[in-house]
Amino acid sequence: MTDPGNAPSAAATAAAALARDSAPSSTAIFLVLRRMRAPLLVLICTFAIGVFGLTLIPGNDMDGRPWRMDVFDAFYFMSYTASTIGYGEIPQPFSTGQRMWVTIVIYMSVIAWAYAIGTVLALLQDKGFRTAVSSQRFSRSVRLLQEPFLLLVGYGQAGETLARALDDRDRRMVVVDHNQDRIDSLDLASFHSDVPGSVGDARNPDELLRAGLDQPHCSGVVALTDDDEANLAVVMAASLIRPDLPVVARTVEPQIAARMNEFGSPLVVDPFNLFGDELMLAVTEPDTARLINWLTASPGDPLPAPPELPRKGRWIVCGYGRFGSRLVEDLHQHGVETTIVDPRATSTADGRVIGADAADPDVLRSLGLAGAVGFAAATDNDTTNLSLIVAARRTNPDLFLVARQNLPVNAPLFAELPIDSLLVPTTLIAHEALARIGDPMLWRFVQGARAKPDAWSRELLQRLTAACGTGRPDLWEPTVVGADNRALDTWLTSGSARLGDLLRDPEDRERTIDCVPLLLHGSGRTVLAPEDDTILVRGDHLLLAGTASARRALDATLSVPTVLEYVVNGRRVGNSWVWRTLVNRD
């Protein structure tokens, strides 16, 4: 029986069918027929009049006898004459009357064709026609997708960053955005595969259905528009039509986030809250922050240095908007004293809130930067933030500096400043969405690692660096199944399949391959950093961190029965050169 919790409701199914029936698959055709109705009628009338006249006007044959053209010959003559081909006078030379009539018909047909061609050119430039053709092409492209794809709603700065990261991982996607220029830019982007894109309002469920929301190959929905209400509408539609899909949505309003959470379990990304949480994690659990930042970085990136964040002392936060207020809230939760500076705020008697413009040099000098330990430039103006950072660093070089970058174009300017922690909302949103949708196993590990003590993270970092070095290791997810390997299947169902045995070196089983298990998920359990004695069962999923050679060695163990027999029981079976070649291949 179908699980009612995951199956679309009858109303959703009916709505999806209605949307498919009303899809613009034939809109362009009907639009052409409607616009070309008058020109076609003029052409048909011109041909009919010409044929009729040729059959009535008499002529003479080669012997001078009276001759009239029949309907077929008249239609044949009009077909090549009116189309400017012109084979001559057939089947008999024309009389003067026939030639006069043909002359009139030629000018009539020229006018008719000019009218028809002009209408066609105008139709090709018509916005409605081009939209219909584009919608038809988009719908066809989505229907032809036969592999899992993500529905990305919103192709702004965060959406583009996420799309490029997904493309690097060979993940297919379908894009919906209200801006035509953004959709047009998809054709200019250097993606590995074609990305279907459509201009549409995300609040309209029909647009999401046409983008493949109800298709079985749709594997997730990401709502990254700059309109929180539109993102909420996407979450609602996805929850009601496809409750089984993972959903990631962007918002900076707590009320919208609460309403989103009423529809299933979407991952709500608030970049300001997320940044504050990461900053406080670096203060309270520095090794956990290092571990997470390292594993979520690009392959080969060096292990971050231990953060030197001030644990005690006063912070000055310039800008008490959406970001500043959340940062202050996080600081207060950890007992950190703050001074808030914002021209829209009301000054308090204790001096903790100063209603003034921090960009004013006199105000900045009065803040007591020399006695502070942290400074945050949190306004929504990049120029102001840059000037505040420079002034604060000049006054107190020991300050821990936090800045907000609002526009990506200003990235080179912020990169030149000694900023300790930089918030780029679009990058942070894309990074979090990618972790949830693109790497679900890594996301599970990150969520679990946040709850672990710092000592646990420190030990895991030591294991990783000992096995893989200080460059960010490769991460991969081998699926422990036995359908294609009877020996593996027998071993997994025996109840004695130890994780440590699976990770032995095929060259020398007394050694362990250079990898560290980060997560075991499956069979109703989730284990972080599982030990060697962990028993594996069929269907388990592993997240491993290690070197490329370790990955090749494990692939050989999982695919070659003789290799598995050796690493588990120590018995070499058959010629060893086969699996040696598999393990040592470049």
Tens-place pLDDT, residues 537-550: 887 889 999 999 99
pLDDT for 433 = 86
How confident is the model over 499-515, as a mean pLDDT? 91
Mean residue pLDDT across the chain: 85
- Least confident piece of the model among 39-53, 220-234, 490-504: 490-504
> What CA–CA distance (Å, rounded) separates 194 from 173?
9
> What CA–CA distance (Å, rounded) separates 463 from 459?
6
- Least confident piece of the model among 209-213, 554-558, 576-580: 576-580
> What CA–CA distance (Å, rounded) separates 37 from 48?
16
Q: Tens digits of per-residue pLDDT, 246-286?
A: 999 999 888 999 999 999 888 899 888 888 888 888 888 88
Query: pLDDT-derived band of residue 586, with 50, 70 and 90 as boundaries?
Result: very low
Q: Is 231 exposed, middle or buried (0-12, 13-18, 19+ CB in 10 A)?
A: buried
Give just the sign of the alpha carbon dihedral 430, 435, 440, 443: negative
How confident is the model over 570-575, as a mean pLDDT? 68
| pLDDT greater than 50 at residue 402 | yes
Q: Tens digits of per-residue pLDDT, 279-314?
A: 888 888 889 999 998 888 777 888 888 777 777 889
| pLDDT greater than 50 at residue 86 | yes
pLDDT for 364 = 87
pLDDT for 24 = 46
> What CA–CA distance (Å, rounded) separates 487 from 562?
9
pLDDT for 13 = 47
137: nearest Cα among 174, 170, 163: 174
Percent of the chain with pLDDT over 70: 92
pLDDT for 556 = 86
| pLDDT greater than 80 at residue 85 | no
pLDDT for 8 = 47
pLDDT for 155 = 93
Count CB-CB contacts under 10 A for residue 547: 17
Q: Tens digits of per-residue pLDDT, 147-161?
A: 999 999 999 888 988
| pLDDT greater than 60 at residue 413 | yes
Query: pLDDT-derived band of residue 531, with 50, 70 and 90 as boundaries?
Result: very high
How confident is the model over 228-236, as a mean pLDDT? 94
Q: Tens digits of per-residue pLDDT, 300-353?
A: 888 888 777 777 889 999 999 888 988 998 888 888 899 999 998 888 888 889
pLDDT for 350 = 80
Which contiguous run of DSSP H or E holds residue 248? strand 247-250
204: nearest Cα among 180, 230, 228, 173: 230
Radius of gyration from C-alpha coordinates of the chain: 35
| pLDDT greater than 60 at residue 229 | yes
| pLDDT greater than 90 at residue 513 | yes
Between the CA of residue 394 and those of 384, 389, 403, 423, 453, what are the distances in Å? 16, 9, 15, 21, 37
| pLDDT greater than 50 at residue 378 | yes
pLDDT for 135 = 82
| pLDDT greater than 80 at residue 409 | yes
Phi-psi label, residue 118: left if phi above 0, alpha if psi -120 to 50, beta otherwise = alpha
| pLDDT greater than 90 at residue 384 | yes
Q: What is the DSSP string of 47-104?
A: HHHHHHHHHHS-EE-TTS-EE---HHHHHHHHHHHHTT----S-SSPPPHHHHHHHHH
Phi, psi at 72, each rounded to 5°: -65, -45
How confident is the model over 95-118, as a mean pLDDT? 91
Q: Tens digits of per-residue pLDDT, 41-64?
A: 999 999 999 999 999 999 888 878
Apex CA 542: angle with CA 539 and CA 544, to 5°? Answer: 160
pLDDT for 484 = 57
Q: Which range is most confident: 159-168, 377-386, 428-437?
A: 377-386
| pLDDT greater than 80 at residue 485 | no
DSSP state of 226: S
Question: Which residues does 513 contact at the CB level (< 8 Å), separation at least 6?
Answer: 503, 504, 505, 546, 549, 550, 553, 554
477: nearest Cα among 510, 427, 439, 422: 439
pLDDT for 345 = 87
What tokens appear for 468 in the block?
A: 């893989």
Query: pLDDT-derived band of residue 17, with 50, 70 and 90 as boundaries?
Result: very low
Report yes or no on whether pTM surpasses 0.75: no
Q: Tens digits of per-residue pLDDT, 173-218?
A: 999 999 989 998 888 888 888 899 999 898 999 999 999 999 999 9
- Least confident piece of the model among 68-77, 107-116, 453-462, 565-574: 565-574
